[in-house]
Amino acid sequence: MTHQAAIALGQSLRVLAVAETDGAALVAADVHIGDHTDLDALRTFAKDCDVVTFDHEHVPGDHIRALAADGVNVQPSAEALRFAQDKHAMREKLTELGAPVPRWAPVASLADIEAFGTPCVLKAATGGYDGKGVWIIDTPAEAADVLASGVRLIAEEKVDLARELAAVVARSPYGQVAAWPVVETVQDGGICVEVIAPAPGLAEAKATEAQELAIRLAGELGVTGVLAVELFETRDGRLLVNELAMRPHNSGHWTIEGSRTSQFEQHLRAVLDYPLGATELAAPVVVMANVLGGEPGGMRLDERLHHLYAADPAVKVHLYGKAVRPGRKIGHVTALGADLAETRARAARAATWLRDGHGSIGS
């Protein structure tokens, strides 16, 4: 999706991919196959690039610092990216900045967890995604296995959650920041399944509070490119920062058709230090639903697309060229509309149909 944006801007996108079958490697013209944890591969890749950026958080900070020391223009910097790579570092920094976060503490033993109190949520400081690296425990004893694994952990209070939101912004090295409307993100089993823009029923003051928080964090942390601030909205109306992502993020996929500037274009504009694009909504309601891999068998994806397009000529489909595995994000769909319930239903129907290839797709 970044390549789609790069094409319009006349930019030559070079991709570092672990395998030729990676989604980005399948579509880009200039592909280096190599491991992002291999400094030599990174150095060879970065040679002659105007700017190097990321679509995940797994490049080691020391390698990024080494590239920067070589004179490579890396956006965002290792110093900023650290707060999207390490939840302990992120919680510490946000606490220092006075940003609202759940009560938390680093924990390394049963005694630490007893002291923190249960029930609570344990999170791996690094490496978690889509619900992996998160454990909800009711008693300290339930933490035995994960403690024994030696993974570095933080504990967080179980938040009395009303729903999850995301405030997505982009910031350029020059310091310009642009914010998209705050969205609601709907999770199922730790995986984001749906994003609704704008977040339904969110008071304007709350939306502004979320945007201002994201803008402030982008500046304080020195983020360049897209920053997605995942938020908990509690039942008593508070906003707490859950996670940070410093790259185009699932909570911003709706912007491809749903905003005047997509997060992919904006990320490129930001890391290239161009002035940022307009972030207005393109319709009153925009709903993105992730397409997950379904069980094997049934219609070919190609045939599923046929039926979907016949049933809904206006839904937009994005497939990532990934091999289908049950529960894996293999694409997303976006519906634009005027009515919230109808637009959500269209997006959900399309995503479910592409996953299952059976059931009802007719109107």
Point out which residues pair with 132 in neighbouring strands: 129
Q: Is 285 helix (H, G, I), strand (E, B) or coil?
A: strand
206 binds a second copy (CB under 8 A): no
Part of the chain binding a second copy (CB under 8 A), chosen from 63-71, 88-96, 160-168, 253-261: 253-261
Size of the site for a second copy (CB under 8 A): 42
Report in angstroms how near the CB of residue 279 gets to a second copy at its nearest: 8
Residues 124-183 interacting with a second copy (rule: CB under 8 A): 178
Among 261, 263, 290, 352, binds a second copy (CB under 8 A): 261
Q: Which two tokens stand for residue 336?
A: 């634009």
> Contacting a second copy (CB under 8 A), which of 275, 284, 298, 327?
275
**What b/e string do you get for 244-271 counting C-beta neighbours within 10 Å, with b at 16 or more?**
bbbbbbbbbbbbbbbbebbbbbbbbbbb
Q: Write out the E strands in the chain.
A: 14-17, 30-33, 104-107, 120-124, 134-137, 153-157, 161-171, 177-179, 183-188, 191-197, 225-234, 239-245, 285-292, 316-319, 329-337
Residue linked to tokens 């290839």: 357
Q: Pick the piece of the chain touching a second copy (CB under 8 A) from 116-124, 135-143, 153-161, 254-262.
A: 254-262
SS3 (DSSP) at 16: strand
Q: What is the smallest separation between the CB atom of 1 and a second copy, expressed in angstroms?
A: 7
Is 64 or 170 the residue whose CB approaches a second copy more closely?
A: 170
Does 102 sit behind a cis peptide bond, omega within 30 degrees of 0 on the bond before it? Answer: no
* Distance separating alpha carbons of residues 354 and 351, to the nearest angstrom: 5
Q: Which long-range contacts (CB under 8 A, 24 or more apart) does 257-262 make?
A: 257/282, 257/286, 257/316, 257/334, 257/336, 258/197, 258/282, 258/283, 258/286, 258/288, 258/334, 258/336, 259/180, 259/197, 259/286, 261/178, 262/1, 262/5
In this chain, which stretch among 65-73, 117-125, 212-220, 272-280 interacts with a second copy, using CB under 8 A? 272-280
Contact 262, 169 (CB under 8 A): no
Query: Is residue 319 near a second copy by the rule CB under 8 A?
Result: yes
- Is residue 362 at the binding interface for a second copy, with CB under 8 A as the rule? no
Smaller CB separation from a second copy, 39 or 301: 301
Is 47 annotated as belonging to a binding site? no
Please check if 164 is assigned to a binding site: yes
Whether residue 209 is annotated as binding a ligand: the answer is: no
250 forms part of the interface with a second copy (CB under 8 A)? no
Q: Is 243 annotated as a binding residue?
A: yes
**H helix or E strand, kind and range, residue 171:** strand 161-171
- The answer on whether 206 is annotated among ligand-binding residues is no
Site string for a second copy, 322-351 (x = CB under 8 A): ---------x----x---------------
DSSP string, 243-259: EEE-SS-GGGTTHHHHB
Instruction: List the structure tokens of 244.
Output: 């940070």
Contact between 12 and a second copy per CB under 8 A:
yes
- In the complex with a second copy, the residue whose CB is nearer, 248 or 331, is 331
Residue of the chain from 47, 132, 235, 306 that contacts a second copy (CB under 8 A): 306
Question: Residue 174 corresponds to which tokens in the numbers above?
Answer: 């020059």
Q: How far is CA 170 from CA 40, 71, 75, 101, 181, in A?
A: 30, 24, 12, 21, 12
- Contact stretch for a second copy (CB under 8 A) within 95-103, 125-133, 159-167, 305-313: 305-313
**Nearest distance from C-beta of residue 312 to a second copy, angstroms:** 9
Say if residue 316 carries a ligand binding annotation.
no
Q: Does 18 bind a second copy (CB under 8 A)?
A: no
In the region spanning residues 20 to 79, those forming contacts with a second copy, defined by CB under 8 A, are: 25-29, 31
Q: Which residues are annotated as a binding site?
A: 87, 123, 156-159, 164, 242-243
Query: Footprint of a second copy on this chain (CB under 8 A)?
Result: 1, 3-4, 6-10, 12, 25-29, 31, 178, 257, 260-261, 269, 274-278, 280, 282, 301, 305-306, 309-310, 313-314, 316-321, 331, 336
Q: Which residues are annotated as a binding site for ATP?
A: 87, 123, 156-159, 164, 242-243
